[in-house]
Amino acid sequence: RLKMSDELDVFNLQREEKVSQFLKKVDRLNDPKEMHYVYLSYDHLEDEEELYEFWRDTVHGLLGKALNKTFASPEEIFNCFVIKGKKPIGLMNILQEMKSRKELIDKEELLSETYYSEASWLSSQFSRVMSWVSAPAPPELDPSKEVVSAVWLENACKSVLDWAYRQ
């Protein structure tokens, strides 16, 4: 029988393999010229919207398909994209922008009453389920605090609501 630490090692190896498989499917990360472009800095400029959209879609895919997690810290997300020693210089700025556009939500904010008063249809369905309240999250991106993909959350909520309506 495996010890707990061995099971954790196996789990981490499986997760690394899933992340690796996911990254192999992202064409722009497999072409050296494209990878160089998307790994450049991001300065929140209008002409960088295409770069933002690439990272937004890739991060949501990573969370939903590769990590199979409800939430992850920005540091964990960033580290998944360190490929052959190359680091995506602008990714933390992209994650900050995703947070400001409410495409990533702090886990603490998600559990707070404030979030549900701002998210109309979620409010009515989930305020009854959520019985605890936590302090609102700070506006800045904290690399160590976990965030939730708003796309993943919306899809999960729709699935729950669809199931509830069929009952």
DSSP string, 89-103: TTHHHHHHHHHHTTS
Q: What is the dihedral of CA 58, 59, 61, 63, to 10 degrees?
A: 160
SS3 26: coil
Query: CA nearest 94: which of 138, 137, 141, 61?
Result: 141
Whether residue 134 contacts residue 112, with contact meaning beta carbons closer than 8 Å, is answered with yes
Q: Which residues pair with 149 in a beta bridge?
A: 104
pTM > 0.85: yes or no: no
Domain spans of the chain, in order of start:
4-166
Model pLDDT for residues 30-56, shown as the tens digit of each residue: 999 999 999 988 887 778 899 999 999
Model pLDDT for residues 119-147, shown as the tens digit of each residue: 554 554 454 444 333 434 445 667 667 78
Could you report how far apart the first and last alpha carbons of the chain are, in Å? Answer: 42
